[in-house]
């Protein structure tokens, strides 16, 4: 029997190739066929010269995953590409669903390699300072695939647990009320002055990162190319809005000038 063919599931980071992991670059170099949404191929620029591009539009995610599997089964070295991390609200999960379903009989002939990338939440955090210094969660506000009741339950859980909360897919052309609702839920649990980071087009030419507070968060300023990061009840804005960070409890230690317990050492 022929050896299994490799399908690389590659996260390319937020945009700028400077944030493309070396392992992702190697996987992209290895593969002749690149399957992706056009914007991601554009972000990769000259790295894609000489590659066979398959750019299916937004909304055709299932077709994109199917095509990547079919190309792989034809023996072509194939990369399926997503921005950020391909396992975070992205294509990797769809590939595994297809492998469990309509491709189950061929699954043994395909070897999957998942190559991680820097997700939008990490890039936003790096631009902002250190807002993820304590426990955090991410919530996608898209109710296209997830019932709103589920999302609402998770919003309350994030509020009750006082998690720093990153909102992916905060709004889109068809969805304009979910972020306002999420804001209202979190305001039940944390102060109006809670810092919020609004990060748009991270790692791309027109990147814009701004800070506001939970009470002043204006959903009209947010679009689908934006990640919204809400601090927890202890997150702080420094330097008149230059940085946001979430303390992890070092202050007591710093004041007491004592050694940290081993599990708290960075
Ligand atoms: C379908 S999710 C894809 C997430 C991606 N796989 C990741 O790990 O970053 C799309 C959402 O991610 C966020 N996002 C992705 N790339 C971004 C970027 N460069 N700047 C800001 N937000 C981004 C936005 O909230 C957008 O609506």
Cβ distance 98 to 72 under 8 Å? no
Buried b (16+ CB within 10 A) or exposed e, 3-26: eebbbbbbbbbbbbeebbbeebbe
Distance 105 CA to ligand 1 centre (A): 33
Q: Which of helix, strand or coil describes residue 54?
A: strand
5-118 and 121-251 in the same fold: no
Q: What is the mean pLDDT of each run of 10 residues along the chain (266 residues)?
A: 83 95 97 95 94 92 97 96 98 98 95 98 98 98 96 98 98 91 98 98 96 97 97 93 90 70 64
**CATH assignment of 121-251?**
3.30.950.10
Instruction: Extract the tokens encoding 64.
Output: 């994109």
Q: Which atom of ligand 1 is nearest to the CA of 200?
A: 21
Mutate to test the pocket of ligand 1, among 120, 166, 210 (most ligand atoms within 8 A of CB): 120
Sequence ranges of the domains in the chain: 5-118, 121-251
Fold type of domain 5-118: Cobalt-precorrin-4 Transmethylase; domain 1 (3.40.1010)
Pocket of ligand 1 (CB under 6 A): 14-15, 82-85, 88-90, 119-120, 168-170, 199-204, 224-227
Query: How many angstroms separate the alpha carbon of residue 199 from the centre of ligand 1?
Result: 10
- pLDDT at position 104 is 96
Helix (H) or strand (E) holding 227: strand 226-230
Ligand 1 centroid from CA 257, angstroms: 41
Q: Please tell me the distance between residue 13's alpha carbon and the centre of ligand 1 in angstroms.
A: 9
Per-residue b/e over 90-117, b at no fewer than 16 CB within 10 Å? Answer: bbbebbbebbeeebeeeeeebebebbbb
> What's residue 263's pLDDT?
65
The answer to whether the beta carbons of residues 227 and 201 sit under 8 Å apart is no
* E-assigned strand segments in 22-73: 33-36, 52-55
């Amino acid at each position: 029997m022929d050896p299994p063919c490799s399908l690389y599931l590659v996260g390319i980071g937020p945009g700028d190739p400077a944030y493309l992991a070396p392992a992702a670059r190697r996987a992209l170099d290895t593969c002749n066929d690149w399957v992706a949404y056009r914007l991601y191929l554009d972000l990769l620029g000259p790295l894609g010269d000489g590659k066979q591009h398959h750019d299916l539009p937004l909304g055709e995610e299932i077709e994109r995953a199917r095509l990547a599997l079919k190309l792989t089964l034809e023996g072509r070295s194939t990369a399926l590409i997503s921005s950020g991390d391909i396992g975070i609200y992205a294509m990797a999960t769809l590939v595994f669903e297809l492998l469990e379903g309509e491709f189950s009989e061929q699954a043994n002939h395909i070897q999957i390699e998942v190559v991680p990338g820097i997700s939008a939440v990490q890039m936003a955090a790096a631009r902002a300072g250190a807002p993820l210094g304590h426990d955090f969660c991410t919530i996608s506000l898209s109710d296209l695939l997830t019932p709103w009741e589920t999302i609402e339950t998770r919003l309350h859980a994030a509020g009750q647990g006082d998690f720093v909360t990153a909102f992916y897919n905060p709004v889109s052309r068809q969805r304009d009320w979910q972020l306002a609702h999420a804001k209202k839920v979190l305001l039940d649990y944390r102060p109006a002055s809670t810092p919020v980071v609004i990060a748009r087009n991270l790692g791309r030419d027109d990147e814009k990162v701004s800070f506001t507070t939970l009470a002043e968060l204006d959903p009209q300023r947010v679009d689908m190319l934006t990640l919204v990061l809400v601090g927890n009840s202890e997150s702080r804005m420094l330097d008149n809005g230059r940085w946001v960070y979430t303390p992890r409890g070092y202050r007591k230690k710093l004041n007491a000038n004592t050694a940290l317990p081993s599990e708290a050492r960075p």
